[in-house]
């Protein structure tokens, strides 16, 4: 073997050791973030029992919270991400059926999980958008919990999260907020919602609690979704600059059909189907709010 190749081999060996050490460090660092537990004091939120509130809770759980996208239409749990680089994340079975946790959860456990992203044993819940739910009013949060508590039992085993190398790298370097519990001001109490109606003020409430801001960014100008799978397209610019071609009518149509005014389909990473289940007045409210946010170029937060 000539000197050149020997040199390369040695260099390769050194590099392999460096890479392995970095990966090992990343593993240890990510493991520390993943396993860290949080203790969030119990919060008392009134949970209604009347059928009108339960209906409202169901509507909010579907169209605003989109809980069903991760927990399944029957709330019995669903696999959300399953790719070796990222790992496997599945929404828990929230029912009282076998494999479900409904029978174990106390009212304050639901509040802690939804508003704070922290499970009943203190572990941080992966990819659940609790920073959005932190904006829910006590009334709407109570209604969602009332709904979840009374769904029929489903028998389905819970799949505990596993973390692939890409997810661990993102966690170790703090590049993706996979645990929203680390990005929430846990001391902030739940605030009452503005009066429901097709107003910009109520639209802002829906945009925050419904996760539009979570994916489209704090200024809604779009860009890479940090907490998303690396294969996801960037979120669109929802400021007046980005939605120039839209009217209230075509905005509503886009959310209901997944088709832009230009005729181009919206990628399903955008939960248009669920968002389209908002009432006409709720969609009008979000549209009214989007008209009031400062115009920004794409990805300008
Ligand atoms: C983007 C996906 C996603 C969405 C949306 C989502 N969840 Fe979750 N949720 C999860 C995952 C994943 C877990 C379990 C992961 C874990 O234990 O780390 C979970 C766990 C939970 C738990 C269990 C807490 C515990 O003590 O173990 C509750 C309760 C819960 N979610 C309620 C809700 C409700 C209610 C909504 C809608 C308002 C919702 N989730 C929306 C992903 C999601
Ligand atoms: C899970 C992340 C996510 C959430 C939550 C989300 N979006 Fe999106 N949205 C996207 C992505 C990604 C795109 C770009 C899709 C594409 O490239 O086809 C998008 C595109 C759009 C578009 C199409 C704009 C265009 O380019 O013509 C509209 C309108 C929209 N979103 C509105 C909303 C509203 C309103 C909400 C809140 C109710 C919301 N989105 C919540 C990820 C999200």
Query: pLDDT tens across 182-214, in order?
Result: 999 999 999 999 999 999 999 999 999 999 999
Summarize pLDDT for 18-58 with one digit per residue, the tens: 444 456 678 899 999 999 999 999 899 999 999 999 999 99
Rg (alpha carbons) of the chain, rounded to whole number = 22
Give residue 14's pLDDT band: very low, low, confident or very high (50, 70, 90). Answer: very low
In the prediction, which pLDDT does 23 show? Answer: 60
Say if CB 217 and CB 301 are below 8 A apart.
yes
Nearest listed ligand to the Cα of residue 89: 1
- Residue pair 151/58 in contact (Cβ under 8 Å)? The answer is no
- The residue whose two tokens read 């910009």 is 200
Atom of ligand 1 lying closest to residue 211 CA: 5
The pLDDT, as a whole number, for residue 146 is: 98
- Given a cut of 50, whether residue 5 has pLDDT beyond it is no
Give me the pLDDT at residue 153, please. Answer: 98
Ligand 2 — pocket residues by CB below 6 A? 207, 210-212, 214-216, 225, 232-233, 235-236, 238, 254, 260, 266-267, 269-271, 275, 286
Residue-wise pLDDT tens digits, 81-119: 898 988 999 999 999 999 999 999 999 999 999 999 999
pLDDT, residue 11, reads 47
Could you tell me if 119 and 125 are in contact, meaning their C-beta atoms sit under 8 angstroms apart?
Answer: yes
> Residue 176's pLDDT is what?
83
Both tokens assigned to 224:
């890479």
């Amino acid at each position: 073997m000539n000197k050149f190749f020997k040199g390369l081999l040695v260099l390769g060996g050194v590099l392999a050791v460096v890479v392995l050490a970095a990966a090992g460090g990343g593993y240890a660092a990510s493991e520390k973030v993943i396993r860290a537990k949080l203790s969030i004091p119990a919060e008392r939120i009134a949970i209604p029992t009347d059928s009108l509130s339960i209906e409202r809770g169901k509507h909010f759980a579907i169209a605003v919270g989109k809980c069903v996208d991760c927990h399944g239409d029957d709330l019995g749990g669903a696999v959300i991400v399953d790719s070796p680089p990222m790992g496997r994340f599945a929404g828990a079975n929230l029912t009282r059926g076998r494999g479900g946790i409904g029978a174990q959860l106390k009212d304050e456990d639901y509040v802690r999980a939804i508003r704070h992203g922290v499970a009943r044993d203190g572990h941080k819940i992966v990819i659940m958008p609790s920073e959005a739910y932190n904006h829910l009013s006590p009334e709407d949060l109570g209604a969602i919990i009332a709904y979840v508590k009374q769904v029929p039992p489903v028998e389905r085993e819970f799949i505990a999260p596993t973390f692939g190398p890409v997810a661990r790298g993102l966690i170790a370097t703090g590049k993706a907020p996979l645990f929203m519990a680390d990005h929430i001001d846990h001391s902030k109490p739940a605030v009452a919602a503005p009066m429901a109606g097709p107003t910009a003020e109520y639209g802002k409430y829906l945009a925050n609690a419904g996760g539009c801001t979570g994916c489209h960014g704090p200024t809604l100008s779009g860009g890479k979704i940090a907490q998303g799978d690396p294969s996801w397209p960037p979120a669109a610019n929802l400021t007046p600059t980005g939605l120039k071609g839209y009217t209230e009518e075509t905005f509503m149509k886009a959310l209901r059909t997944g088709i832009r005014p230009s005729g181009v389909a919206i990628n399903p990473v955008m939960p248009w189907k669920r968002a389209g289940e908002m009432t006409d007045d709720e969609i009008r409210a979000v549209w009214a709010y989007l008209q009031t946010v400062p115009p920004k170029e794409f990805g300008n937060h």
